[in-house]
Structure 1
Amino acid sequence: MPHQKFESANIKPRYSKGEISVWGINSVYPRTPWISAWWSAAFPGFGHMFLGKYLHGFILIIWELVVNNLSHLNMAIAFSFIGRFEEAKAIINMDWAMLYIAVYIYSIWDSYRCAVEIKKAHLLSEIEDAPVTPSDVNYFDINVLDKKNPLVGSIWSFFTPGLGQLYGSNTLVGTFILAWWIFVCYKAMAVRTWLYSFLGEFDKATEIVDWQWFLFLPSMYAFSIYQAYVAVTENNTLFDIEQIRYLRVRAENLGQLSKNENNTVQIIATFDHSSFVEIAIHDMEKMGIPPEDIIALPLENLDSQTHIIDSIHRVDGTSVLDGAMMGATIFSVLGGIYGFVWHWGPIIWGLIGLIGGFILGLIIELVITKKKLKVFSTRKSEVIIDITCNTSLQNQLIKVLKSRRATGFVIMP
């Protein structure tokens, strides 16, 4: 059967659920307003990037790097935390610092406001049942909406910020973060500082590092890991939304006529949401099974438990990593600052602060939520396919189900 009959994006919605292009994947996904405000407070532009407003985020990040550097604000903050107040007053450039205040407050306020507006837009897109185009092919790239593992994205950004975003098919964002990370590391002398720290030459590490640029790194590093995780999770959710709509439209178009014949067999199979669902349906149609005899039913998610770590198999969009990554950001910055005067230097203490802050933030989040938690989300079947076919096709159909990763099937008596 021609696939275009069930094209899920053949109309232009008033309120879009998401967009897939060669430059990346973006979705109108409801985010918590105070979390976006927090990331803007940690680093202007981060809150907007968390919301998917990447252009606003890029502008504010560049503004932060330029104005903060010209005002020597990071240096003044570092001196203040270690009690060298006179040096802090002497080094700060008040002309640039005064320009900094209004934009800093605006970035916090606007990211909170945008999070509220995006929640409204998401609700309206659900009411409108807005379609999503699941792929985009261009001369430069091919981008297909598919399920990926959020933890893998975080791990790649842990090694080098930007790689997790590239893994999540956000080419433009990944390129920006990667270039931005390399530039700031170069200006801060971070690579050589890292090398001296792990060779035990802590005095050399403290001498060569540029405090002003180095203090950008903890927030950048923590956010890159967190944003890669969140972006992949939201892309997975967008995949589920798009496929559910496709299967529902398919069922409506076909009418799903019910037949009862003596020479037919009924097989019910279960799948996770993935591209294999649609590939399996296509394989069945090529076998000669009438499309109206292939009924695909996406299940509603009734699991209300909070998961610490989402997975490729089960994405509920909620976890307690928000508080953990906030703690990691705060304490890695403090570790970097006090590392300038403590023996092990800023790299070691920054990493200790990152890990310790993550654990502390996670504990606080668990105490606040007071919910029954599971560390990893569990695999569940999310699509049921009911197939009625000629008995002669039974064995061939079972082979298709196995090759297309069905999680189980039953032959109805």
Structure 2
Amino acid sequence: MPHQRFQSSSINPRYPKGKISVFGINSVYPRPPWIAAWWAASFPGFGHMFIGKYFYGFVLVIWELVINSKANINMAIALSFLGRFDEAREILNEDWALMYVGVYVYSIWDSYRCAVEINKSHKLSEIEDAPITPSEVSFFDVIVLDKKHPWLGLVWSVISPGLGQLYGGSTIIGTFILGWWIFVCYKAVAIRSWLYSFLGDFSSAAAIVDWHWYLFLPSIYSFAIYQAYSSVNENNTLFDIEQVRYLRARADHLAQQHPADDVQNTVQIIATFEHSPFVEMAIHDLEKLGVPPHRVVAMPVENLVTDTHIIDSIHQVDGRSILDGAMMSAAIFSILGTIYGFVWYLGPIIWGLIGMVGGFLIGLTIELLFTKGKFRFTSRRKAEVIIKVTCQVSLQHQLLHILKARKASGFVIMPQMSESV
């Protein structure tokens, strides 16, 4: 149990759980270190961005694009996979390549180390149970911590990397990814190549595309999709945590009051809600209706371990998602499909997409095989907040109207029990 509970979000915690600002939303979340290390290996900088160290990520992404280009690393890798080893050695710039190796290894090691440290900070922030400011208003933007749909973030990133991050409230991250995506697509002549591929002119598509720059795209695309999905989930979790702490603080405050109320001619109604802004709106509406605050008891439900489900929301305490392996496999097979697509009939675009979809399904299958216990395709609907209202019988109809308008999952009118002396 937490050692203390703050009642004011103005208190600065020693171990903050999350931060909301004009630059976006960031949180201390228990992300698996080995997944951070893998994304760093896929593209230096992505491992740090995955764990929320965005400035480190920006520096390393810029470094990767510059030094990789100078050393011709991508071309050397592609030629090596195609068995053209002499050409790979000839095209590789050894001076720049030696500079590349040290920072590449550091990126993997440091992303793993930082993930471990952030996990420790997460545990300390849970012990401190410090508050989170749920909104930020500035001259440039209005940032509100609210519930969003993770799959919408994923879909927007499929349309264009960066859009999913903007949807999730990460302004700087979305702008950075979108900007680099446009730049790399321009250097790779990717848009024209995609057009030729979808028109069936595969030879022209392979002829005009810049191999070196195009090989950056599968990693950027896969990471943008996964990061948008996971960041929206993490922001949703941060919203739940903030609301849980608010409701606990409210309950503690009301528990200190002991009013002597007349309980005659009253009715008790219990309603269930999912975590959302509607919970606090409902409480405000009930108090505005005339129900005393101490007669509106709102408490969060403690979550128990649930079955694994494919379309998960990364709500596990260890930060694991069943889509982790699927997206990593998608990135690997997308790169391989792109490389071999330069010499196969359908070209690098089509084979890259085939590799991404096929890799996703392979990774998902492996995850499911190694997942212990039963799993479901989707998660069960959960009631996460219980509100108990004691009010005059005359207010019952209006109270039920408020609960329906504020999206209560369900309600029950408690039967009147005779008091025993």
TM-score of the pair, normalised by structure 1: 0.96
Q: Deviations over 1:186-208 (max 9, x none)?
A: 00000001011111111111111
Taking the aligned partners of 2:224 and 2:358, their CA distance within structure 1 comes to: 18
> C-alpha displacement at 1:378, in angstroms?
1.5
Residues 203-222 of structure 1 aligned to structure 2 (within 5 Å): 203-222=203-222
Aligned to 1:329: 331
Residues 160-175 of structure 1 aligned to structure 2 (within 5 Å): 160-175=160-175
> C-alpha displacement at 1:305, in angstroms?
1.8
Taking the aligned partners of 2:24 and 2:308, their CA distance within structure 1 comes to: 28
Residues 169-208 of structure 1 aligned to structure 2 (within 5 Å): 169-208=169-208
Residues 156-305 of structure 1 aligned to structure 2 (within 5 Å): 156-255=156-255, 257=258, 259=261, 261-305=263-307
Give the direction of change, closer, same or farther, for the CA distance of 1:349–1:67 in structure 2 (3 Å limit).
Answer: same
Letter aligned with residue 376 of structure 2: K
> C-alpha displacement at 1:308, in angstroms?
1.6
1:346 is aligned to 2:348: yes
Aligned to 1:95: 95
Contact map agreement 2:13 2:130 (CA 8 A) in 1: yes
> C-alpha displacement at 1:173, in angstroms?
0.3
Residues 300-309 or 251-260, more deviating: 251-260
1:155 is aligned to 2:155: yes
Runs in 1 of length 4+ with deviation above 2 angstroms? 256-260, 314-319
> C-alpha displacement at 1:397, in angstroms?
0.7
Q: Deviations over 1:271-292 (max 9, x none)?
A: 0000000010001111111111
> C-alpha displacement at 1:307, in angstroms?
2.1
Letter aligned with residue 220 of structure 1: I
Letter aligned with residue 65 of structure 2: L
Letter aligned with residue 54 of structure 1: Y
Taking the aligned partners of 2:396 and 2:350, their CA distance within structure 1 comes to: 62
Contact map agreement 1:15 1:121 (CA 8 A) in 2: yes
1:104 is aligned to 2:88: no
Letter aligned with residue 217 of structure 1: L
Aligned to 1:84: 84
Letter aligned with residue 401 of structure 1: L
Taking the aligned partners of 1:22 and 1:379, their CA distance within structure 2 comes to: 33
1:36 is aligned to 2:42: no
Aligned to 2:321: 319
Taking the aligned partners of 2:380 and 2:295, their CA distance within structure 1 comes to: 31
Taking the aligned partners of 2:226 and 2:73, their CA distance within structure 1 comes to: 25
Q: Deviations over 1:296-339 (max 9, x none)?
A: 0100111332222135xx95454310000011000000000000
Q: Deviations over 1:128-147 (max 9, x none)?
A: 11110000011111110011
Contact map agreement 1:8 1:245 (CA 8 A) in 2: no
> C-alpha displacement at 1:38, in angstroms?
0.4
Residues 277-286 or 255-264, more deviating: 255-264
Contact map agreement 2:32 2:320 (CA 8 A) in 1: no
1:378 aligns with one of 345, 361, 380: 380
Taking the aligned partners of 1:291 and 1:21, their CA distance within structure 2 comes to: 31
Aligned to 1:409: 411
Letter aligned with residue 67 of structure 1: I
Aligned to 2:3: none
1:368 aligns with one of 367, 370, 377: 370
Taking the aligned partners of 2:387 and 2:268, their CA distance within structure 1 comes to: 10
What is the DSSP-based 3-state SS (H/G/I as helix, E as strand, rest coil) of the residue aligned with 2:156? Answer: helix
> C-alpha displacement at 1:369, in angstroms?
1.8
Taking the aligned partners of 1:305 and 1:104, their CA distance within structure 2 comes to: 38
Residues 211-220 or 251-260, more deviating: 251-260
Give the direction of change, closer, same or farther, for the CA distance of 1:386–1:257 in structure 2 (3 Å limit).
Answer: farther
Letter aligned with residue 66 of structure 1: V
Aligned to 1:117: 117
Taking the aligned partners of 1:206 and 1:391, their CA distance within structure 2 comes to: 75
Taking the aligned partners of 2:311 and 2:26, their CA distance within structure 1 comes to: 21
Contact map agreement 1:8 1:133 (CA 8 A) in 2: no
Taking the aligned partners of 1:318 and 1:373, their CA distance within structure 2 comes to: 15
TM-score of the pair, normalised by structure 2: 0.94
Q: Deviations over 1:160-209 (max 9, x none)?
A: 00000011010110000000100000000000010111111111111111
Aligned length, in residue pairs: 406
Aligned to 1:3: none
Aligned to 1:128: 128
Structure 2 unpaired stretches of 5+: 1-5, 416-421
Contact map agreement 1:307 1:318 (CA 8 A) in 2: no
Taking the aligned partners of 1:409 and 1:198, their CA distance within structure 2 comes to: 53
Q: Deviations over 1:232-263 (max 9, x none)?
A: 00000000100000000001111165856112
User: Percent identity between the aligned chains?
Assistant: 67
Taking the aligned partners of 1:324 and 1:82, their CA distance within structure 2 comes to: 25
> C-alpha displacement at 1:110, in angstroms?
0.4
Contact map agreement 2:312 2:322 (CA 8 A) in 1: no
Taking the aligned partners of 2:372 and 2:387, their CA distance within structure 1 comes to: 37
Aligned to 1:140: 140
